[in-house]
Amino acid sequence: MIQTVTLTIDGVPVKAAKGASVLDAALEVGICIPHLCHVPFLQDTGACRICIVENVKNGSSRVTTSCTLTVQEGMNIQTNSEKIRKLRRNLAELLVAQAPNSKAIQDIAVRCGVKEVRYPFRNENCVQCGRCVRYCTEMWKANALGFVGRGKNRRVEFPFATRPDFCKNCGSCTLYCPMSITPCGGPMKRGEEHLCGKCESQAVTAPNIIGACTRCELGKGFSCTRHML
Amino acid sequence: MRKFNHSSDLEGFRQELLEERKDITSTIIIPNGTCCQAANSLAVIKAILQEIARQGVDKNVQVHLTGCHGFCEQEPMILFEPGNIIYCRVTPEDAREIVGRTVKGSEVIERLLYTDPVSGKTARTEAEIPFYQAQDRQLLQHNKWVDPRSIKDYIAIGGYRALVKTLDSISPKTVVEEVRSSGLRGRGGGGFSTGRKWAEARSAPSDEKYVICNADEGDPGAYMDRCLLESNPHLIIEGMMIGAWAVGAQKGYIYVRNEYPLAVQHARLAVKQARDIGLLGENILGSSFSFDVEVARGGGAFVCGESTALMTSLEGKVGEPRPKDIHTVKEGLWNRPSVLNNVETWANIPSIIMNGSGWFASKGTKGSKGTKIFALTGQVKNTGLVEISMGTTLHDIVFNIGGGQKNGKAIKAVQTGGPSGGCLPLSKFDLPVDFDSLYEAGSMMGSGGMVVMDEGTCMVDVAKYFLKFLQDESCGKCVPCRIGVDRMLEIVTDITEGRGTREQITLLEELSETVAETSLCGLGKTAPNPVLSTMRYFADEYFAHVDEKRCPAGVCKALISYDILDEKCNGCGVCLRACPHGAIKGEKKKVHAIEPQLCLKCGICITECKFDAIAVG
Ligand SMILES: Cc1cc2nc3c(=O)[nH]c(=O)nc-3n(C[C@H](O)[C@H](O)[C@H](O)COP(=O)(O)O)c2cc1C
Ligand code: SF4
Ligand code: SF4
Ligand code: FES
């Protein structure tokens, strides 16, 4: 039998399988924690930080990513506090300023309540979520992709920058890439980037209700876990 | 060399060594660490040895090559014991006279003595030098007596006695208790209680555990760890052995950055020597304790000093941090319980065991015990490594040990804690230096970098420098650090180049909070500190840049211009010849002028003009 633990998420007691992540436990019961780099069945690395929650313990709270946090008996998690909403919004703003040409990122920005972008747009074509790398490495054991470089210069690359013959051409990397679908209005040219914001009506952004998953369309663009299950 | 099978063997060996050395009448001590070598100590040593061979000295005079003694600025130095006579800034040409007059004739050569730049007095002995007087050199004092390449030296001064004491009579549990009650806190930056860390690792169930020494030391300007490891490697190994005994580890690693070749070399040699005489390996000194150490070289990425990145790197993978929801004392290297401590933390262990936790706890402040080594640099007269009792004030360090301002510009701030730390203004100089008070004031103890800044330093520029460093050194894995720090740098660059706005300052504050709260590892979490602390204490400088487009310190090139003052210029033409960009025009004996379009603001003309006729505005 599966062993379970009980924890509280946003005030609601939730049962979860022992060893599950807080993110999975929340999604399972329909609480939406926005996420980007998490893909079910792949190792979580905590790269995008969008899935942050507050872990409240003895009166003080710690901000941490829910995809890397394992459920524990009696845990008290806040996914939608004012603090989390603000931090998440700022993170999503950083992301969308970096890569506005992605429906997934634009969707996440909307979901996280980004109303304006206070940085000059950069229009890059990778957000380094590492989905492609992990899928290739863990699912297919192909190791055809990896990260090279550090900091600003970090990027996804084939070994020695050429497609190796052990790449199985399966296409998973593009399938799971949040950058592969452009915003509905088509690709934005340099200098014309903007916050799309079209799907706002569908997003669960009202602060007073719990961030319940409504199976919104937002997740489709980047394969939100709930759309994949 | 023979192998020891019993703990009494070591004491016997020490007695033999002391007997062997009892006839030595005098010792010529020449520091030869990395910093000393950079100051040409190798040539001095060669010259001294040649002179000794040529002139011939008593066979009981011994030449002793040691690690650095901390007063790096005065190197190469030579010390004579007994007598404690010290010569500073020695050149190879002095060798002949030194051997002839001091070694053979016991005469002091006045011109090689140290002159205190503050009082102008000369000091004959090390003990008379103000730089040393205000220090409490518990760890650094050994450097003088130990040739890092000689395990005999270390044993002769009482080395490995703490280990013997531990194996003979202290249970692992008591060792942990002792370290805990000493109040020792990690010297690598976080200041976590070492005893608590050990207790957790000890209670973690596993048949295999590790102890690791963090000698990655990536903070710009900091080199205490290098000095300790390179000058006294056995001290670190002894500390690690005691720790391993306490937590039940069989294997230890010293992770040292590859840019420290001498430290790598000395650590490797020390491990080999300890193995050869049975201090490392199976059943050490006939006990049930088996332990070995491996020296691993790191590629020198700053982030590899972070605990999880360091362990990932030790496992042979790319050194990127991983989420730390489970602590490394439970699941660290190869998912086994691992105790990671800083070099200086390990170095403190043997003396805590030898002298007791009470002795250690008697030094320092309520929350921070013992001593701490700082690398004092920047705009002070005396620079080098200083070891002080916790609780010494910043003022004492900067003015008494450091000797105060160097270039006639008033001191205005001190930066502690490296890229994770912050800048404290003069008004905070009476703060006692300890973990908690520095943290409360918005800075950090960090690993021990201490940079003194004067009126010629622009605090916005300082913030920019650290952001640039962090942006380069971020591993790039997580969004807040990779993108957030980069955006912070973008904003601060805008401010220094005159494009800054008030809104950007607000945004900078908000972004700082986000980066600090949401980053994956300590690098990102502390990255905003240099910005936040300068904004807190030097807000007026930020506003001067933003509102008035003015850099008060005259550093930010986009906001300054160079002008020749008509009343002071006598037309000598030195600046005209000195300017590499041909930006200065003028006829001989007539007032010169700077062409703003051509001037690249390099500042060469200012240093060349003898009449202070060039002003920065
Ligand atoms: C970005 C980063 C760099 C670090 N670099 C070092 C370092 O160079 N040396 C060090 O001892 N600790 C460093 N640390 C701290 C270590 O993570 C760790 O806390 C420390 O080695 C633990 O030892 P201690 O308890 O003895 O201080 C660094 C931490 C971070 C976040
Ligand atoms: S290529 Fe796509 S999937 Fe891969 S890291 Fe970049 S954004 Fe993520
Ligand atoms: S905070 Fe910076 S250094 Fe740490 S994991 Fe994130 S990107 Fe890497
Ligand atoms: S989904 Fe958790 S950090 Fe990206």
Q: Do A45 and B301 touch (CB under 8 A)?
A: no
Domain assignment present for residue B10? The answer is no
Q: What is the CATH number of the domain that holds B150?
A: 3.40.50.11540
Residue B419 · residue B470 · CB < 8 Å: yes
Interval between CA B200 and ligand 1 midpoint (Å): 18
Q: Relative to the alpha carbon of B222, which ligand is closest?
A: 1
- What pLDDT score does B3 carry? 84
| Pocket lining for ligand 1, CB < 6 angstroms | B 186-190, 192, 214, 216-218, 302-303, 305-307, 340-342, 345, 447, 521-523
Say yes or no: B445 and B331 in one domain.
no
Q: Which of B312, B482, B508 to mutate to test the interface with A (most CBs of A within 10 A)?
A: B482
Q: Are residues B267 and B235 in the same domain?
A: yes
DSSP letter (8 states) at residue B305: G
Residue B106 confidence (pLDDT): 84
B468 and B453 part of one domain: no
A153–B contact, CB cutoff 8 A: yes
Across residues B504-530, what is the average pLDDT?
95
User: Parallel, antiparallel, or unpaired for β B562-564 and B614-616?
Assistant: antiparallel
pLDDT above 60 for A109: yes
* CA–centroid distance, residue A136 to ligand 2 (Å): 11
Find chain B residues with C-beta within 8 A of A130's C-beta: 477
Q: Is A47 in the pocket of ligand 4 (CB under 6 A)?
A: yes
Per-residue pLDDT tens digits for B21-78: 988 888 999 999 999 999 999 999 999 999 999 998 888 889 999 999 999 889 899 9
Q: Residue A219: its pLDDT value, please?
A: 65
Q: Same domain, yes or no, for B516 and B530?
A: yes
When pLDDT is cut at 50, 70 and 90, the band that residue B221 belongs to is confident
Which chain A residue is nearest to residue B523, measuring alpha carbons?
A151
- Structural domain ending residue among the three candidates B441, B457, B473: B457
Same domain for B179 and B327, yes or no, is yes
Q: In terms of domains, do B313 and B175 share one?
A: yes
Band of pLDDT at residue A200, cut at 50, 70 and 90: low
Binned at pLDDT 50, 70 and 90, residue B210 comes out as very high
Predicted confidence (pLDDT) at residue A103 exceeds the cutoff of 70: yes
What is the pTM for the complete model shown? 0.90
ipTM of the complex: 0.93
Q: Is B108 exposed, middle or buried (0-12, 13-18, 19+ CB in 10 A)?
A: middle
DSSP count for chain A of H helices, then E strands: 6, 7
Check if the beta carbon of residue B498 is closer than 8 Å to that of residue B566: no
| Residue to mutate, A126, A133, A147, A170, ligand 2, most ligand atoms under 8 Å from C-beta | A126
Q: Looking at the structure, do residues B356 and B319 belong to the same domain, yes or no?
A: yes
Residues of A in Cβ contact (< 8 Å) with B490: 119-120
Instruction: Output DSSP code: residue B565.
Output: -
Q: List the domain range (segments joined by +) for residue B330.
A: 145-361
**Cα-based distances in Å from B66 to A199, B80, B104, B129, B153:** 70, 13, 22, 20, 10
B563-567 contacts at long range (C-beta below 8 A, 24 or more positions apart):
B563/B594, B563/B614, B563/B615, B563/B617, B564/B591, B564/B592, B564/B593, B564/B594, B564/B613, B564/B614, B564/B615, B565/B613, B565/B614, B565/B615, B566/B591
B517-B431-B429 Cα angle (round to 5): 105
CA distances from B475 to A86, A159, B263, B318, B492 (A): 25, 19, 25, 10, 21
- B229 and B151 share one domain: yes
Residues B224 and B93 in one domain: no
List of residues 6+ apart from B419 with CB closer than 8 A: B219, B220, B302, B466, B469, B470, B473, B526, B527, B530
User: What is the per-residue pLDDT across B62-97, written as a single tens digit (0 to 9) for each?
Assistant: 999 999 999 988 989 999 988 889 999 999 999 999
Q: Which CATH number fits domain A4-81+199-228: 3.40.50.300, 3.90.1170.50, 3.10.20.740, 3.90.230.10?
A: 3.10.20.740
Per-residue pLDDT at B264 exceeds 60: yes
Residues B599 and B504 in one domain: no
Domain extent listing, chain A: 4-81+199-228
Nearest CA in chain A to B511: A90
Query: How many Cβ atoms are within 10 Å of A24's Cβ, its own excluded?
Result: 22
Residue B147 has pLDDT above 70, yes or no: yes
Tens of pLDDT along B291-311?
A: 999 999 987 789 999 999 999
Residue B14 placed within a domain: no
Average pLDDT for B572-589:
89
Q: Is the CB of A50 under 6 A from ligand 4?
A: yes
Are the CB atoms for B357 and B372 separated by under 8 Å? no
Residue of A22, A32, A33, A38 best suited for mutating to test ligand 4, as the one with most atoms within 8 Å of CB: A38
CATH number at residue B473: 1.20.1440.230
Among B547, B575, B591, the domain boundary falls at: B547
Q: Is A119 on the interface with B (CB under 8 A)?
A: yes
Residues B406 and B523 both lie in one domain: no
Give the residue on A whose Cα is nearest the Cα of B481. A151
Task: Give the list of residues 6+ apart from residue B368 with CB closer than 8 angstroms, or none.
Answer: B183, B185, B191, B390, B391, B434, B435, B436, B445
**Residue B364, phi then psi, degrees to nearest 5:** 100, -165
Q: With respect to residue B477, please indicate whether it lies within any of the assigned structural domains.
A: yes
Q: Identify whether B552 is part of a domain.
A: no
Examine the pLDDT at A139 and tell me if it is beyond 70. yes
Domain boundary among B333, B361, B389: B361
The token pair that represents B105 in the structure block = 């004739």
Q: Per mean pLDDT, which range of A199-208, B341-350, B542-551, B572-581 is the poorest?
A: A199-208
**Residues B464 and B517 placed together within one structural domain of the fold:** yes
Q: Which ligand is nearest to the CA of B308?
A: 1
Question: Cα(B343)–Cα(A100) distance, rounded to whole angstroms?
Answer: 46
**Which residues lie below 8 Å from residue A68, measured CB to CB, with a gap of 6+?**
A21, A44, A45, A46, B323, B325
pLDDT tops 80 at residue B575: yes
Say if CB A132 and CB A176 are below 8 A apart: yes
Q: Name A160's Cβ contacts closer than 8 Å, sequence gap at least 6.
A: none
Instruction: Ligand 1 pocket test: pick from B214, B302, B519 the residue with the most ligand atoms within 8 Å of its Cβ.
Output: B214
Asked if the model's pLDDT at residue A211 lies above 70, the reply is no
In this structure, the residue with its CA closest to atom 31 of ligand 1 is: B522
Would you state the pLDDT for residue A183?
87
Count structural domains, chain B.
Answer: 5
